[in-house]
Amino acid sequence: MDLFEFAAAQQQAQQTPQERYAELCDIVRHNNELYYAQAQPEISDAEYDKLYREIEELEREYPEFITPESPTQRVGNDLSEGFRKVTHPSPMQSIDDIFEHKPGEGESDAELVEFYQRLCNSLGQNVPRVTVEPKIDGCAVTLLYRQGKLAYAATRGDGRTGDDITANVRTIKSVPFTLPAGAPELLEVRGEIYMPSADFDQLNAERDADGLPAFANPRNATAGTIKLLDAAEVARRPLRFLAHGLGVYEGPALATTRDFTDLLDRMGIPRNQPVICADSLEETRAAVQQVNELRRNLGYGTDGAVIKLDDIALRESLGSTARAPRWAAAFKYLPEQKVTVLRGISIQVGRTGVLTPVAELEPVQLSGTTVSRATLHNQDEIERKDIRIGDTVLMEKSGEIIPAVVHVVMSKRPAEAVPYSLYDAVGGVCPSCGAPIAQEEGQVAWRCTNFTCPAQAAMRTTYFCRREALDIENLGGTVAEALVNRGMISTPLDLFSLTVEQLGALNLGTDEEPRRFGEKNAAKALSALDAARHLPLERWLTAFGIPTIGTVTARTTAKYHRNLTELATGQFLNLLVQLEEGVEQFNALNPKARANKGADKEQLQAQQEELKAQLTATAADFITRGYVQLEADGANKLKFANPLGSVSTRKLLAYFNSAAGQAVLQTLGELNINPASAGFTENLNNQAEGPLSGKTFVLTGALSRPRPEFEKMIAAAGGKATGSVTKNTTYLVAGEGGGSKRDKAAKLGIPVIGEEELITLLEGGQL
């Protein structure tokens, strides 16, 4: 059991299944935001996979936990501001993972065998033909050609809607703009944009020479590049494209994978290779191992093999779940491991003041890149693995992304190696500013106690000025560091007090070789700062850099608050916590569950009724406005779904109650800045009059349009769309998938309709 498993087990032991599920969903959504939207993952693929699998296990045991917002019901969302949106003509889905097992955990490819047998059972065939190809570690993209010309290129986005990145994709030389004679009328090709390993190393070397921060890995570099708004800058990055899938298509029939790959070759579209055909389970297992050997010489990152049913018509018969096809799976290999020597441990101070120990390693080639540094996370991790300077350590790259120390090779430990103490190593003070460091109660991280710490100020300012936050032009990492180091700012909000003369005179170079920022750049930056005063609340919440509050959570939070002042009072946040705790207390009083313990059933029911009345009275205004719902869930239980998520609610409360949060609020008040919400909804229950008045709908499964579009249509027609099937639901609108909601609807006798029936109702018709 590693640190991640240990911490999860300790916390889970004190939680109800629903609390654990809610927490896991919050954590996975947060990391989806970092991985897909920001290209800045905090955890490895292996750690993410453990979280995701635990969610799946809880959903199998408690299907009532599943909502349309559950991570298992949605693909990762990489939508960004600044790009035109494209609605995919057919859903652009993810793919389910199956994993190679470690020695001692049974057959290494047991999950592959299970997947193959599931295919056989679904098809009624003993030996369906499949194909096996490398799983490219890149960014999913779709290319749509009409009459042989590239109409657009788009990211996967949320699976229904993607960002139009045509201008950026046109800079990739291997992507044809015009197809040769004989091209299909309509051809949608799906694949991956990636960065070759050697080119990635060269790019990082150039960034080092320019004093710019290095990219963590090729996938992050690719994700960041395709979302640049300057196509000229994209053209300077070494991106490539490989096709591997088919979307919408109008042309001569394609029966098998070979037909599709032959079409790609005729059209001059680069494709994923090799694609190995297998006619039995044993051939499939051998092909997966063959890909594992071949992928190390492909020159780009891969972390698995994709197995697909070969027959395209049979794929269509099997269909998909809400997020992935049933006819394909990605077999994830165990990460490559190598030993090296830990030469030292350095300490980094993050933007939130956390001191992170970093292993300085003897350089080693691992999964296609040179690894010389790896995070050790915190003191507890160092102690658990007993890591010491001078040790020989086993390294791996989980998911070929983040280098990690697996364990120490004890037989090679030097006699002089001593236990490492982060506190002693830094003398109990922050290496950046010299202020004392401390551990918060219940947390393992050491933090700098100085909110104006230069290390924090520079990183907070860079984060504050990101495009997703306040989008302050020209104030990136280099400028932020210079502003802090030259004593011109100590917090991001100090930017608002700068003048054109001060900022223009900023020296970005050295005293010996000065380099002025310049008045022109300064004027642009100050103009952006002035515009930022009027940006909506959700952008400011993102800019604050509160842990777990990314762009998605910030947008959701702003929906329930008029402005920052209303949010900072904590009235709604405190209510959410109170309701969570009250519902937990209510359910703990369950007379049926406690009857065997000799508890008085009538007394318990009376206590429940009193508590329910108190909660309902306390939340009456918010219930009336549709912000929260307290629903009976049968068996003397209550259901409550926190619209902001349990973890995020508590993080927001802690921030605005902290000295740092109070200082920010005071400074914003002095600057006369009180950001207003762009998406505030006074009353979610206010419904228009129309053909759906009085009717409540639940949407599930894969639909032809993004779910929010249908929700708006329902609301405009006087109806109401909710996330959970209850006895009050009028119709369940189901696309492909949505199994658990279908089951619950059947149990409650709720009619299940499709999109066509919904349109009929919207138009005033009858079913």
Positions marked catalytic: 135
CA 447/CA 449 separation, integer angstroms = 6
CA distances from 421 to 43, 312, 372, 374, 439 (A): 23, 59, 21, 17, 14
H-type alpha helices, 671-725:
707-716
Query: What DSSP assignment string belongs to 80-143?
Result: -TTS-EEE-SS------EEEPPPTTSS-TTHHHHHHHHHHHHHHT-SS--EEEEEEE-SEEEEE
Asked whether the beta carbons of 405 and 386 are under 8 A apart, the reply is: no
Half-sphere exposure of 474 toward its Cβ, with a 13 Å CA cutoff?
A: 18
Among 18, 36, 23, residue whose Cα is nearest residue 552: 36
**Inter-axis angle of helices 646-657 and 571-588, to 10 degrees?**
130
- Across 388-547, the runs of DSSP E, i.e. the strands, are 392-398, 402-408, 437-439, 446-448
CA 397/CA 323 separation, integer angstroms = 27
Q: Is 271 helix (H, G, I), strand (E, B) or coil?
A: strand
- Across 680-748, the runs of DSSP E, i.e. the strands, are 696-700, 720-722, 731-734
Other C-beta atoms closer than 10 Å to the C-beta of 203 total 20
CA 571/CA 619 separation, integer angstroms = 11
- Across 434-477, the runs of DSSP E, i.e. the strands, are 437-439, 446-448
Fill in the DSSP letter of residue 763. T
Tokens of 432: 């950046």
Tokens 């979307």, residue located: 247
Query: What DSSP assignment string belongs to 634-650?
Result: STT-EEE--TT-HHHHH
CA 186/CA 89 separation, integer angstroms = 11
Instruction: Give me the phi and psi of 693, to 5 degrees please.
Output: -55, 130
User: How long, in residues, is the chain?
Assistant: 767
CA distances from 706 to 2, 156, 188, 697, 709 (A): 39, 13, 19, 15, 6
CA 723/CA 740 separation, integer angstroms = 13
> b or e along 451-460 (b: 16 or more beta carbons within 10 Å of the residue's beta carbon)?
bbbbbbbbbb
CA 62/CA 56 separation, integer angstroms = 10
Tokens of 331: 């077999």
Tokens of 219: 């996938």
CA 329/CA 76 separation, integer angstroms = 17
